[in-house]
Amino acid sequence: MSFSDINIEVFRSINNLGEQASALNPIVIFFAEYMLYFLCLALVIHWFTRKQNNRMMVIQAVIATVIAEVLGKIAGQFYSHNQPFAVLPHVNKLVEHAVDNSFPSDHSIVFFSICISIWLVRKKEWWLWIPLAICVAISRVWVGVHYPVDIATGALIGILSSLFVYWLVPKLGFIKQLLALYEKAENRILPSKNKNENF
């Protein structure tokens, strides 16, 4: 059995759950389409806790996502294919999606970049962020818009980018300087007694 056959077989086994466990479809669709807003809201909330560790975490998450997206676009130049619903017969397509290159999955790139970045700083919260990234990745296959190889590649790019940025950013003094300038300006507008707390 070729790699392509395995990829399609795994896709079918997950996508067919849309019929076999149709009661879960609304939850899966929410994860696939709308959980990104929750993730963005989580970053905003962590930023406005006005704690430096949280803010460095958000900065690292954003930088990791940008790097991962660039790497994803580069990967897409070397290998590409359209969404499963545009190629395979009898796909359970549960959400609307344009036909374009689905490799790698942008959702996987974003969620793994951000969730791993958060986990690296807030390790006790692994039970929330790691399963969240995995659930969103699987949901994109369930709704018919990505192959397993798309989400696996996106996840790998996101994880590697997060680890690299987590190692790199603390070594970049200008990031801390920019954050200090921002916090100085912010404190003039809205003074805070707890701005230097870690958590």
Ranges of each domain in the chain: 25-189
Average pLDDT, integer, range 71-86: 96
- For the four alpha carbons of 90, 91, 95 and 98, in that order, the dihedral sign comes to negative
pLDDT at 111 over 50: yes
**What pLDDT, on a 0 to 100 scale, did the predictor assign at position 48?**
92
pLDDT at 195 over 60: no
Q: Which residues, in sequence order, are CB contacts of 162 under 8 Å at separation 6+?
A: 60, 61, 64, 68, 112, 113, 116, 117, 120
The CA distance from 58 to 55, in Å, is 5
pTM: 0.92
The CA distance from 142 to 144, in Å, is 5
pLDDT at 115 over 60: yes
The pLDDT tens digits for 120-157 are 999 999 899 999 999 999 999 999 999 999 999 999 99
pLDDT at 119 over 70: yes
